Amino acid sequence: MSNLKKMRIASGSAGWPDMLDSAVTSAKEGDIDYMAFDHLAELTMAILQRQKAKKPDLGYIPDVIPLMKDLLPVWKSKTKKFRMVSNGGGANPEQCAQEVIRVAKEIGLPGFKIGVITGDSLTKDRVLELNAQGIKFPNHDTGEKDIDRIKDTFMASYVYIGAEKIIEALDNGCDLVIGGRISDNSLYCGPAMYNFGWKYEDAYWDRIGAMVCCAHILECSSWSCGTSSNLWEEVKDPWRIGFPICEMDENGDAVVSKPKNTGGLMRVLSAKEHLVYEVHDPENYLMPDGIGDITSLKLDQVGPDEVSITSWQGKPRGKKRPETLKFCLAGHEGFLKEYTMIVSGPKAFEQARRCEEFIHKRLDMLGIKPLDILVSFIGYNALHGPCVPPPTYDPPELGVRFAVKVKTAEEARVAGRQMTFAYSAAGVGCAFGFQAPERPVFGMWPSAIPRDVVPLKLDIVEVK
């Protein structure tokens, strides 16, 4: 990577929850310039919006606070101050920032600046107003042309936003940036674009695309370093696994590694496992800041736990960013009730089938019409479902998991009661089980929205 300008950015989290100590290790030992934290999954925002509706000072990822309690003392001790970007603000970035301000005051960090990004969550009234103006929100999963079916039932909506306000916050001297549904990759693209001066212009799409792809490895945290890997037998000490750190130069070439003396591994295969994760079209990986081309990358093992990521034969790694942003609406779609019991052999498989028949017949007899029902046999088809061939042996025992989705909480309670009677259909030896309380089910409506109707805002708060 010669004498080109470089930066080092570390992964701090891949979801909620994640291992807090691994982020602290990277902060202490990684010689980093930036650290990014992805805390959100597809429906997390709906859960957080519901929490905020019940109590206005909630709605952010609670893990942010213990993370900052551990990380800010490390930050304070460093001569080179690494800067942080997080989407842990969830549905309430303002309150999240205030909680971090309290932590910073306790630690004694006067002048610590936090950039707070809002505007990604659109109110129901605003969505309906845009819809009335002629903006349609087709469902990218079902093919439905607009939101007619869910106009009365959706409860939250959020936009996957890009790095523009992150760049602005860093340019204004913020030490930490907290936002809502900042896209996973944008948490890393923002620091790279700020650090190298990249713009949303033709001259930079290749380099932005390179970071979009590298960020996809980074935002997976420990999963890129051996968690749930095909290499699991080679992974040393997964209980103290390292998180990935990327050293990138101004041309977009990078080396991804992990802190020394940590568990896990960084291999070409472990990186590739997560390059293809959640990607539908590897030549067109659509993100808010650019379109990455994963097929353009060349990965090489350049050290025991170091993988270089460069362009394959000069192929462009990125394209111009999309004109629209990913937009999700989340609504209430009934209630879920679950129950798991154990069936013992002999003839465990036949007994499990009998229990499955029992719950279908019992619900039908009581007039319960499930919106959906799933019966899985743990130890046989719980993961692979209908792809599993019939068993060729008599297993000594099987778990039977019932999951029933219904319209109302009362129906869920009735269905749950019937599940506990499923032992009636089996033989001796399946006398225990576990039932979770009924819980609301959120459904997601994935769509897209024009960039120019998303009212993003940056506010800066400072420790006094």
Where do the domains of the chain lie?
6-120+160-322, 333-443
CA distance 310 to 314: 9
Q: Element (H or E) spanning 29, and its range?
A: helix 20-29
**Residue 269 in contact with residue 275, Cβ under 8 Å?**
no
Mean pLDDT value of segment 275-299: 96
pLDDT of residue 427: 87
Q: Is the separation of the CB atoms in 275 and 223 below 8 Å? A: no
**Mean pLDDT along residues 403-420:** 97
pLDDT tens for residues 413-445? 999 999 999 999 998 776 567 788 999 998 999
Q: Is the pLDDT of residue 383 over 80?
A: yes
Please state the rounded mean pLDDT for residues 163-172: 98
Q: Residue 164 and residue 253: Cα distance in Å, rounded?
A: 22
pLDDT > 50? residue 1: no
Spell out the residues 6+ positions from residue 230 whose beta carbon is closer than 8 angstroms to its own. Answer: 269, 273
Q: What is the pLDDT of residue 381?
A: 96
Q: Tell me which amino acid residue 372 is.
A: D
When pLDDT is averaged across residues 341-356 and rounded to a whole number, the result is 93
| pLDDT at residue 363 greater than cutoff 60 | yes
> Distance between CA atoms of 217 and 143, rounded to whole angstroms?
30
Tokens in use for 413?
Answer: 């309670």
Predicted local confidence at residue 432, as pLDDT: 67
Q: 333-443 sits in which CATH class?
A: alpha beta
H or E segment to which residue 190 belongs:
helix 186-196
Q: Which of 37-46, 175-184, 295-304 has the lowest mean pLDDT?
A: 37-46
Evaluate if residue 390 carries a pLDDT over 90: no
pLDDT > 90? residue 325: yes
Residue 85 has pLDDT above 80, yes or no: yes
The percent of residues above 90 in pLDDT, for the chain, comes to: 93
Overall average pLDDT of the 162-178 stretch: 98
Region 181-200 average pLDDT:
98
| 379: enclosing H helix or E strand | none
What is the reported pLDDT for 42? 86
The token pair that represents 348 in the structure block: 């465990």
The residue-averaged pLDDT of 95-102 equals 98
The strand ranges marked E within 75-134 are: 83-86, 113-118
Residue 430 has a pLDDT of 65
What interhelical angle do 205-218 and 268-275 show, nearest 10?
110
Output the CA torsion 275→280→286→292 (10° steps).
40
State the average pLDDT over residues 125-130. Answer: 97
209: confidence class by pLDDT, cuts 50, 70, 90: very high
- Give the global pTM: 0.94
Q: State both tokens at 72.
A: 């800010």
d(CA 237, CA 186): 31
Stretch 170-199: mean pLDDT, rounded?
Answer: 98
Mean pLDDT, residues 436-461: 95
The predicted structure's pLDDT at residue 434:
75
> What's the mean pLDDT when you consider all of the chain?
95
Q: Is 193 exposed, middle or buried (0-12, 13-18, 19+ CB in 10 A)?
A: buried
